[in-house]
Amino acid sequence: MMERFIGRERELEALERAWGSDRFEFTVVYGRRRVGKTRLIREYIADKPAVYFMALEADKKTNLNSFSRTFSQFQALNEPGLTVSRAHYGSFEDLFADMTDVARRTPFVLVIDEFPYLAAGWPPISSLLQKFCDSQWAGTGLHLILCGSSMSFMERQVLSAKSPLYGRRTGQIRLRPFDFLDTEDFLAPLPRLDAAFLYAATGGVAEYLDFIDTSTSVSENLAKLFFDPSGRLVEEPGNLLKQELREPKRYSSILRAISDGASKHNQIATRTGIPTGVLTNYLGALMDLGIVDKQIPWNATMKMGGRKTIYRIQDGCFRFWYQFVQPNLSTIELGAGLAALEANVIPGLNSFMGLGFEQIVADLFDRDNAAGKLVELYQNRARWWGSDPKTHQSEEIDLVAGGNKSTLFIEAKWSSQPVGIDVLKTLENRSKLVKHHKTPRYAVYAKSGFTPELARHAQGREDVRLHSFLEK
């Protein structure tokens, strides 16, 4: 995968702390497919004695034999003076017992990657691991890592109170896609503008970014990945739905409806013909995978904001695919994908970047907020939307952040023209529609900078900050 290890500083630090504790540790690592879980783990174990086992979509015997070989190889490399116990074990209990003996002499990392495959092939594995966590490994320096891509399985069968393993973990890491700044670092030396487009189209998923050729243009990369019949991402959303969900066509119809503008629950139900009660479960599964996001306006409780709840495609690759690739699939299969890209996609990219830039701005805000670069630490953020009681017009604010002393109102403007003072005045007027009781502050992020008038105006105000995206 990646030659350079990018980002993941907090996650790697958490794993290193576990290793440095000199006691038994149990970390659960999970996240959607292609996000970089295995790469993180391999970076962590690169300088440590480790048994790394990738579980197979197979039965108990096949996995046990493969696991046995992996452990035997580890013993041969790390304890050359000792006779390897055996190359094949008759049971997982015998295998783990020998691992215990090794761990008492020499602490090591035990990684079971794609644990859901192992558990599907032999469900009692979770109870057996519980037994060893409680009675055998507690007195060792073993670091057990269970890793999985099936979000629902890991959350319900490993982390939930119903799991035999509940209460045994000492740490958990939900790995998410890269934010914009890590994506930009990954795609160096591409210009920031190009990195922004490709971030929006891939969602910052590590494996997708690894497919990008940084020596060519945005359009050439999009053509190679999405608009060629053999492109690495031309069938990716469909394949991922098939891997994760039982009724991929039904889920695809939901995503198609959201992509076409159906954002409310009843709108999605009408477009798809799926009963509302059943639809809730489908939407929940898509949210578990990080594909869809459920949103209510900032500062609204779930009860108060229920009527205003909307659903958006959160995953950038899925959003790009349903907006641009799926409508052109027939053309792509005929070998005319490049023509479709130039005629139907490139003209709409700036419009697509509207939501993409909102996410980039959210990423930039989160980084600055975590680093203490803002006037105070803001505890929450979200979009806001509502109606102006005077004009009865719908209004929205890209991002609102709440702190102890102030409320920060943020506008993200993806425009080829410098942003003028009218944008700030509109933001100020909209902020008056939001119920809050803190000092208002304002920030405008603009792709193409600001007019001299707005720049001069902002210089004279402590409550206004301007951020020109292309000027780092």
Read off the pLDDT of residues 317-327 as tens digits, 9 standing for 90 and up. 999 999 999 99
Q: What is the pLDDT of residue 301?
A: 66
Interval 345-358 mean pLDDT = 95
Residues 317, 202: contact at Cβ < 8 Å? yes
Residues 123, 5: contact at Cβ < 8 Å? no
Residue 23 reports pLDDT greater than 70 = yes
Q: What topology does CATH give the domain 181-353?
A: Arc Repressor Mutant, subunit A (1.10.10)
Task: Give, to the nearest 10 degrees, the angle between helix 92-105 and helix 60-78.
Answer: 20
Domain 374-468's class? Answer: alpha beta
Other Cβ atoms closer than 10 A to 7:
18
Q: Which CATH superfamily is domain 9-174 in?
A: P-loop containing nucleotide triphosphate hydrolases (3.40.50.300)
Residues 6+ apart with CB under 8 A from 328: 227, 337, 340, 341, 344, 345
pLDDT digits (tens, 9 = 90+) for 94-105: 999 999 999 999
Q: Are strands 292-295 and 310-313 parallel, antiparallel or unpaired?
A: antiparallel
Cα pseudo-dihedral 336, 338, 340, 345, rounded to 10: 160
Give 284-295 as a 3 state SS string.
HHHHHCCCEEEE
Residues 153, 116: contact at Cβ < 8 Å? yes
Over the chain, what is the mean pLDDT? 94
Residue 256 reports pLDDT greater than 90 = yes
Per domain, the residue ranges of the chain are 9-174, 181-353, 374-468
Question: Highest mean pLDDT: which of 32-36, 72-76, 448-452?
Answer: 448-452
Residue 1 reports pLDDT greater than 50 = no
Interval 78-86 mean pLDDT = 62
Give 113-143 as a 3 state SS string.
ECHHHHHHHCCCHHHHHHHHHHHCCCCCCCE
Work out the percent of the chain whose per-residue pLDDT is above 70: 96
pLDDT digits (tens, 9 = 90+) for 114-136: 999 999 999 999 999 999 999 99
Q: What is the pLDDT of residue 2?
A: 44
Strand partners, 380: 402
Claim: this prediction has a pTM higher than 0.85: yes
Other Cβ atoms closer than 10 A to 331:
17
Residues 450, 466: contact at Cβ < 8 Å? yes
Phi, then psi, of 465 in degrees rounded to 5: -130, 135
pLDDT digits (tens, 9 = 90+) for 286-318: 998 899 999 999 988 655 556 889 999 999 999
